[in-house]
Amino acid sequence: MPVGQERPADEIDEHNGIIIAGHGRFGGIVNRVLRASGFAPTVVDYSSEQLDMLRKFGLKVYFGDATRPDLLHAAGIEHAKLLVIAIDDKHAITELAKYTIKNYPNVHVIARAVDRNHVYDLWAYGCRDIIRENYDSSMRASRSSLEALGFNRDKAQQLLDEFDTNDRRIMIELAQHWQVDVPATENEQYMTRIRESLDGWGEGADWPYAAHNRERLGRARNSLRRDNTPAGNLPSGPISSNLSRILMVRVEGIEPPLPEGTGF
Which pLDDT band, with edges at 50, 70 and 90, does 102 fall under? very high
pLDDT band at 229 (very low <50, low <70, confident <90, very high): very low
Residue-wise pLDDT for 174-220, tens only, equals 999 999 999 988 999 999 988 887 765 544 344 444 455 555 555 55
Strand arrangement of the beta sheet that strand 62-63 belongs to = 62-63, 42-45, 18-21, 82-85, 108-113, 130-132
Segment 156-168 shows an average pLDDT of 91
Q: Please tell me which residue, 145 or 224, carries the higher pLDDT value.
A: 145
Question: Residue 18 — φ and ψ, nearest 5°?
Answer: -130, 125
Give the span between the Cα atoms of 101 and 209, in whole angstroms: 43
Nearest to 87 by CA among 135, 153, 19, 145: 19
Alpha-carbon distance of 7 to 220, in angstroms, equals 58
Percent of the chain past pLDDT 70, that is, above it, reads 66
Distance of CA 251 to the CA centre of its chain: 23
Spans of all domains in the chain: 18-133, 137-247
- In eight-state DSSP terms, residue 9 is P
pTM of structure: 0.71
Give dist(CA 32, CA 14) in Å, integer.
18
Q: What is the mean pLDDT of the chain?
A: 78
What does the alpha-carbon distance between residue 66 and residue 112 come to, in Å, rounded to a whole number? Answer: 14
- Evaluate whether 67 touches 95 at the Cβ level (below 8 Å): yes
Give the orientation angle of helix 90-103 with respect to helix 116-124, to 10 degrees.
20
What does the pLDDT look like over 242-260, one tens digit per residue? 333 333 333 333 333 444 4
Torsion on CA atoms 26, 260, 252, 122, rounded to nearest 10: 50
Whether the Cβ atoms of residue 188 and residue 182 lie closer than 8 Å to each other: no
CATH homologous superfamily of 18-133: NAD(P)-binding Rossmann-like Domain (3.40.50.720)
How do residues 58-82 score in pLDDT, each as one tens digit? 677 788 888 999 989 989 999 999 9
Closest CA to 256 of 176, 163, 173: 173
Provide mean pLDDT across the span 218-225.
Answer: 54
Question: How high is the pLDDT of residue 239?
Answer: 37
Task: Give residue 256's pLDDT.
Answer: 36
Higher pLDDT, 12 or 232: 12
For residue 152, pLDDT over 60 is answered with yes
